[in-house]
Amino acid sequence: EVQLLDSGGGLVQPGGSRRLSCGASGFTFRTYAMSWVRQAPGKGLEWVSSISGRGDKTYYADSVKGRFTISRDNSRNTLSLQMNSLRAADTAVYYCAKEKDSSGWWDYWGQGTLVTVSS
Amino acid sequence: EIVLTQSPGTLSLSPGERATLSCRASQTVTKNNLAWYQQKPGQAPRLLIYGASNRAIDIPDRFSGSGSGTDFTLTISRLEPDDFAVYHCQQYSSTPLTFGGGTKVEIK
């Protein structure tokens, strides 16, 4: 059974940093691209970042480029998102998601972790 | 960037009725690279449809997707109580990957 467990959310001050993690199990992690997708309170879904299975290719939304860094540790089946220079607009539930065959859509999602940026 | 517009914003229907949800793209979504997700309050999205018309694993056949180019539709043939939720379309034809604003299907 595929499982994705998001963690690392919490309250952060504007300008601060936070690192999110996603532990994966039930599939061959290194084989699949992974992504982060977020959802601001009461709003729609927004793609944030994706990384290839080997970790050699990364992609970012313009809204986070230069501030967020996606990475993965295939030896530990873990996906990470380092978030720096956080803004109030970054407040959201962050979901990690498994991409199906590097296709650009996601067949499994984590339960989400809430990041609140506020003073 | 491909902008997806979903309509209506809210659909009020009764169990057993047919639901028709629209997703319109600002430019052509190539190769029918469009997915639909269902999301219930406090839960993560769940994949329903990929490739515009292919049902994901374990998705009941009352859910169907259709369309091409810039106009796509998700149809729920007969609403069951478990189907009342928010539905999101998503294009993966080009980056940035984008979602529509969602359609809420609520009980009338």
pLDDT at A101 over 90: no
CB proximity B46 to A under 8 Å = yes
Return the pLDDT at B106: 96
Select the residue from B29, B39, B92, B97 to test the A interface by mutation, using most A Cβ atoms within 10 A: B97
Would you call B90 and A61 a contact, using CB atoms and an 8 Å cutoff? no
Written as one letter, the residue type at A37 is V
Residue found under tokens 């998705």: B59
Over range A6-16, report the average pLDDT. Answer: 97
Q: What is the DSSP letter of A43?
A: S
Supply the Cα-derived Rg of chain A in whole angstroms.
13
Would you call B101 and A62 a contact, using CB atoms and an 8 Å cutoff? no
Residue A20, CA atoms < 13 Å, CB-side half-sphere: 34
For the stretch A45-80, pLDDT in tens is 999 999 999 999 999 999 999 999 999 999 999 999
Residue of B37, B93, B96 lying closest to A61 (CB–CB): B96
How many helices (H) and strands (E) chain A has is answered by: 0, 11
As a whole number, the mean pLDDT across chain A is: 97
Return the pLDDT at A82: 98
Q: Are B89 and B36 contacting, i.e. CB atoms less than 8 angstroms apart? A: yes
Residue of A46, A104, A111 lying closest to B44 (CB–CB): A111
**What CA–CA distance (Å, rounded) separates B97 from B99?**
7
Residue of B44, B47, B50 lying closest to A95 (CB–CB): B44
Residue of B37, B46, B98 lying closest to A47 (CB–CB): B98
Nearest-by-CA chain A residue for B102: A44
**What CA–CA distance (Å, rounded) separates B108 from B39?**
19
CB proximity A103 to B under 8 Å = yes
pLDDT at A102 over 90: no
Return the pLDDT at B92: 96
B47 Cβ partners below 8 Å, 6+ apart? A105, A106, A107, A108, B35, B36, B37, B56, B59
B60 Cβ partners below 8 Å, 6+ apart? none
Return the pLDDT at A3: 97
* Nearest alpha-carbon partner for B26 in B58, B52, B2, B62: B2
CB proximity A105 to B under 8 Å = yes
Over range A1-8, report the average pLDDT. Answer: 97
For the stretch B66-88, pLDDT in tens is 999 999 999 999 999 999 999 99
Would you call B88 and A44 a contact, using CB atoms and an 8 Å cutoff? yes
Would you call A104 and B100 a contact, using CB atoms and an 8 Å cutoff? no
**What CA–CA distance (Å, rounded) separates A69 from A86?**
12
Supply the Cα-derived Rg of chain B in whole angstroms.
13
Return the pLDDT at B58: 94
Nearest-by-CA chain B residue for A103: B92
> Which residues in chain B come in under a pLDDT of 50?
none
Return the pLDDT at A11: 98
Would you call B44 and A44 a contact, using CB atoms and an 8 Å cutoff? no
Q: Are A89 and A38 contacting, i.e. CB atoms less than 8 angstroms apart? A: no
